[in-house]
Chains A and B, each alone.
Chain A
Amino acid sequence: MTTMNNASTASSLSLKTVVWIALLLMAACVLPFFVSNYSVFQFSMVLSYAIALVGLNILTGYSGQISLGHGAFLAIGAYTTAILMDRYDMPYWVTLPISGALCLVVGFLFGLPALRLEGHYLALATFALAVALPQLLKFKHLEEWTGGVQGIVIMKPDPWITSFAGLSINSDRWLYFFSLLVALIMFLLAWNMLRGRIGRALMAIRDQPIAAASMGINTPFYKSLAFGVSALYTGVAGSLSAILVAFVAPDSFTVFLSITLLVGMVIGGVATLPGALFGAAFVQFIPNVADQISKAAPWAIYGVLLIGFMYVMPSGIYGAVRLAWAKLRGSP
């Protein structure tokens, strides 16, 4: 049983990687004009999930703190955006940095008591949060803000430009490009942070906490920082998804949402950035396919894969692809 600590972030991009990314970006830009509106929406959701998975990865993959309750940050981001848009008529794109900042603070504060909890206990506490979340969101006294059981409906934003080079840009396509831009920014920021001092400190703390502390790394600060940044990312993803779906309600944020994030991280690859994209695509599209067999089928598949991946591919699809690629190129 190999550990998942083998993954790390490339410290600089090789020419090949840059080419790959450029090609991918070009494909992404062209994509929405060839598929249905619903598919465009789904791809936007993939981008939103990917940002959330980067967030979860920062906390669990890189910093080694297990969270089974990240749905809570999705909820905070989503509800922040919904309330700001619905009650205060704020433009959608302004709500993103606000919810990000809010989640950064909340996450950091969360991180403080979490410092005292290791492994299983932190998993337990976050699991409890995830289970209690819907009930919290339905709480009568907060109904004025949260809309109670019915939630809040938001107006779908209009595109700023309705056509570009002869191609029509509707709401869905506009929001897709918006999501793409946000995702690009978030991924770049994450990559920059993780390949530098902060990333190294986090991984040191994850792998050898006592040695890290005795080398002078301010462990409590970095761990809480990881929580904060992770929450920020997930909050932004939540905001984005609220805008895309145009609706927030308590029952969207059950414990199964948090588990979905876990599935995405495991399948994509723990402690990898590209893995977040794989994982996001997986959790967005598999239910579509599996739903046709039975309502329960996607989850049965998730469960089997969660266990299977721990046995066979602990470093996720991205890790397996990297390994296979390395073998093909003939590394000894």
Chain B
Amino acid sequence: METFLHQLVAGIATGGVYASLALALVMIYQSTHHINFAQGELAMFATYMAWSMVNAGVPYWIAFFSTILLAFVLGVLLQKIIIQPVQNAPVLSVVVVFIGLLVIFNSLAGWIFSYTIKSFPSPFPKEAPFGIKFMSAHELGSIGVTLVLLLFLFGFFRYTPLGLAMRAAAQNPVSSRLVGIRVGWMLALGWGLAAAIGSTAGMMIAPVVFLEPNMMSGILLYAFAAALVGGIDSPGGAVFGGFLVGILENLLGAYLIGTELKLSVALLLIVAVLTIRPAGLFGKVIVTRV
């Protein structure tokens, strides 16, 4: 029973990471209808930035929040400089540019930080409080960080004027301009937020999977699966999908398939959702009129 509980909690913890990354993907998809293939590599690169700070002696939480800020700025800059010009280009051009970004950040990380695996610190103590045995302090902390993040985002989008404007710009850019919203900047902010969210996901998962340039590719796959299962244009769905995929992955991996085919399961999920119900559980079903 205890192993089951442990697997469940571990699944919720990694599910939180998938949920965050899936949320970042959905945010960009909602406003631009682009799938950000580079989301994982951006998160990885941000985690390396955090690592360098910590390595240089910066206290963890200062490094943590500085990284979030830096990732935000990086996201805004990338959108304004590289993505904005291809906003309305044909799909192939857009996909190629995203793959280009993926490749650049992956190789930059390898170049600057080398390909040797590094360990990334966890800010949480070794033992879980209250003598709990079925989950580690890091898992508990990771879930906590994810929840705080989600709460913050929910509050931001629901109750602040800027959040309202960003939602409006994603849904209806033309009408948004007509109320004076600077839609271009809203898209850039969306990218910044997505990059910032990705960076927290990276920093929470790195202590578990160890830091190396290719650490996020499998995780990105799970995030894609999560976003699709939940509904690629539904933030709530993405979060739900993330936790679902995390729990499924851990339980299936522990009891059924073993750890070797886990990525293929993600692949199967993706293909299944795309062919059977592309809108996911909570997304909008779109009917195209000819």
Contact = CB atoms under 8 A, between A and B. Distances in A.
Contacts of B93: 1, 3-4, 310, 314
Main secondary structure of the interface of B (DSSP, over half): helix
Interface string A297-332: 111101111110111001000000000000000000
A210 interface: yes
B132 interface: no
Nearest to A306: B100
B270 A306 contact: no
Interface in A41-61: 60
B221 A132 contact: yes
A314 B94 CA distance: 11
Nearest to A210: B290
A113 interface: yes
A304 B96 CA distance: 11
Interface stretch (A80-88, A122-130, A158-166): A122-130
A262 B100 CA distance: 10
Given A132-B264, A307-B100, A120 B34 contact: yes
A132 B267 contact: yes
A182 interface: no
A132 B267 CA distance: 7
The size bracket of the interface on B is 35 or more
Interface in B226-280: 228, 260-264, 266-267, 270-271, 274-275, 278
B129 interface: no
Contact of A304 (B88, B100, B290): B100
Interface stretch (A25-33, A90-98, A133-141): A133-141
Contacts of B92: 4, 60, 64, 66, 270
Contacts of B110: 295-296, 299
B261 A135 contact: yes
A3 B105 CA distance: 26
Given A68-B95, A120-B34, A310-B96, A299 B106 contact: yes
Contacts of A16: none
B33 interface: yes
Given A120-B34, A123-B95, A262-B99, A297 B107 contact: yes
Interface string A78-118: 00000000000000000000000000000000000100111
B91 A66 contact: yes
A66 B90 CA distance: 11
B270 A136 contact: no
B89 interface: yes
B103 interface: yes
Interface in B3-19: none
A140 to B, nearest CB: 6
Contact of B221 (A131, A300, A309): A131
A125 B263 contact: no
B85 interface: yes
B264 to A, nearest CB: 5
Contacts, number: 153
The size bracket of the interface on A is 35 or more
Nearest to A60: B92
A195 B266 CA distance: 40
B85 A311 contact: yes
Residue of A140, A298, A311 contacting most chain B CB atoms (<10 Å): A311
Interface string B200-231: 00000000000000000110110011001000
Main secondary structure of the interface of A (DSSP, over half): helix
Residue of B94, B101, B267 contacting most chain A CB atoms (<10 Å): B267
Contacts of B103: 259, 299-300, 302-303, 306
B45 interface: no
Contacts of B102: 259, 303
A102 to B, nearest CB: 20
B37 interface: yes
Nearest to A113: B275
Interface string B53-94: 000000000000000000000000000001001101111111
A139 to B, nearest CB: 6
B285 interface: no
Interface in A279-305: 294-300, 302-305
A68 B94 CA distance: 13
Given A124-B270, A294-B111, 6 more contacts: A259-B99, A296-B110, A303-B100, A307-B104, A310-B89, A310-B96
10 contacts: A1-B85, A113-B274, A117-B278, A121-B274, A124-B224, A124-B228, A128-B270, A131-B220, A259-B103, A306-B100
Which 10 residue pairs are nearest across A and B when measured between Cβ atoms?
A: A306-B100, A303-B104, A299-B107, A303-B103, A119-B91, A296-B110, A296-B111, A307-B100, A296-B107, A132-B263
Interface of A: 1, 3-5, 60, 64, 66, 68, 113, 116-121, 123-125, 127-129, 131-132, 135-136, 138-140, 210, 255, 259, 262, 266, 270, 294-300, 302-307, 309-311, 314
Interface of B: 33-35, 37, 82, 85-86, 88-97, 99-108, 110-111, 115, 217-218, 220-221, 224-225, 228, 260-264, 266-267, 270-271, 274-275, 278, 290
